[in-house]
Amino acid sequence: MSEPATKFEQVHAILRWFSETECIESLYWNTVPGAILFWVQCNDMFWWGTADAEDVGRADIKDLQEAYQDLQKVDDNFTCYAPELWVARKRGMRPQTPWWDRERFPQEIKDLFLAAGPPRDRKEEG
């Protein structure tokens, strides 16, 4: 679990990255006494019929930015998937096949998600 954001600079850094990259729809948050918790929602990305999320903290911004830039190198139209690519890389896990194997994804985008982890057995994907 990422450290809760307790200082204005931490909260601002996370919100600024998601806002500036126009990935804000992937970010969720909740308040707890004295802090704000942030996470990226990734429901149905790794398994069908699941509620799933990955905690995000200020230390993750560098890796989020790397995912964004990698997508940007391929096609600017797919940078909105940076949080999802970051989750896959952080977990070292490919998304389930129906999630990444979409007609609208160019092969180069698919390859970025496939590089996130080893092949998966379709039966374990759900």
For residue 49, what pLDDT is reported? 87
Q: pLDDT digits over 68-107, tens only?
A: 999 999 999 999 999 999 999 999 999 999 898 888 899 9
**pLDDT by residue (tens digit) across 57-67?**
989 999 999 99
Residue 92 covered by a domain: yes
In a domain, 2, yes or no: no
Q: Is residue 84 part of a domain?
A: yes
Amino acid letter for position 28: Y
Tokens in use for 55?
A: 């905690």
Give the H or E element holding residue 32. Answer: strand 27-32
Query: In this structure, is residue 3 part of a structural domain?
Result: no
Residue 111 lies in a domain: yes
Residue 104 is part of which domain span?
Answer: 8-118
Residue 113 belongs to some domain of the structure = yes
Number of domains in the chain: 1
Mean pLDDT of the chain: 91
Q: What is the pTM of this model?
A: 0.91
> Is 123 within the bounds of a domain?
no
In a domain, 67, yes or no: yes
